[in-house]
Amino acid sequence: MEGALLNSTYLYILAFIFLTVSFLKDKKKTKIALLKAWKSFSSLLPEILSVMMFAGITLAILSPETVSKLIGSNSGFFGVVLSLTAGSIALIPGFVAFPLGAALLDAGAGYAQIAAFVSSLMAIGVVTLPLEIKYFSKRIAILRNASALVVSLAFTMAIWRLM
């Protein structure tokens, strides 16, 4: 935790230095860039907050004992399948997936189960399958999701062996 805080501090200092240099070089362009960044951030804010609320409520409802029982290290293959299924169905953006995985680890989840959840969350899209079929084809969409499942399983098994 201390290392992460230290890294964040360095990154904030570096960003502030670059922002200052940019401002000194061209005030007008820097102000325009900051306005664009603010608009982008404010358009993403409702989505970020809703996902954070979902994750917070979920972690508040599920006790560490429940998380450990369902997807803990001792949940074995059942926990991996449950995590793969949840990740395949959930529609959570990537920037939330990793902090959520860390929170689940802190709550007692196992490494292999979190690997299954996050990898399937990023790669498999059960909810978005109809959209994929519409824009590509049924064959391609199913083939892509099936190959993503195989890769997620391989990744999960590697993590299971290593951790």
Is 51 inside a domain boundary? no
Predicted confidence band of residue 6 (pLDDT cuts 50, 70, 90): low
**Contact (Cβ atoms closer than 8 angstroms) between residue 156 and residue 119:** yes
pLDDT at 44: 81
Q: Are residues 89 and 155 in the same domain?
A: yes
| Collapsed DSSP state (helix, strand, coil) of residue 90 | coil
Q: Is the pLDDT of residue 58 over 80?
A: no
Place of tokens 């999701």: 145
**Contact (Cβ atoms closer than 8 angstroms) between residue 124 and residue 87:** yes
Q: Are residues 83 and 156 in the same domain?
A: yes
Between CA 59 and CA 55 the distance in angstroms is: 6
Instruction: Report the percentage of the chain scoring pLDDT > 70.
Output: 96
Between CA 98 and CA 79 the distance in angstroms is: 18
Between CA 126 and CA 109 the distance in angstroms is: 23
Q: Are residues 32 and 101 in the same domain?
A: no
DSSP 114-158: HHHHHHHHHH--STTHHHHHHHS-HHHHHHHHHHHHHHHHHHHHH
Between residues 92 and 105, the one the model is more confident about: 105
Q: How many helices (H) and strands (E) does the chain have?
A: 8, 0
Predicted confidence band of residue 22 (pLDDT cuts 50, 70, 90): very high
Domain that holds residue 127: 62-162
Is 153 inside a domain boundary? yes
Q: What is the pLDDT of residues 104-122, one digit of tens each?
A: 888 889 999 999 999 999 9
**Single pTM value for the model:** 0.68
Cα atoms in the 13 Å half-sphere on the side-chain side of 142: 3
Instruction: Please give the mean pLDDT across all residues of the chain.
Output: 88
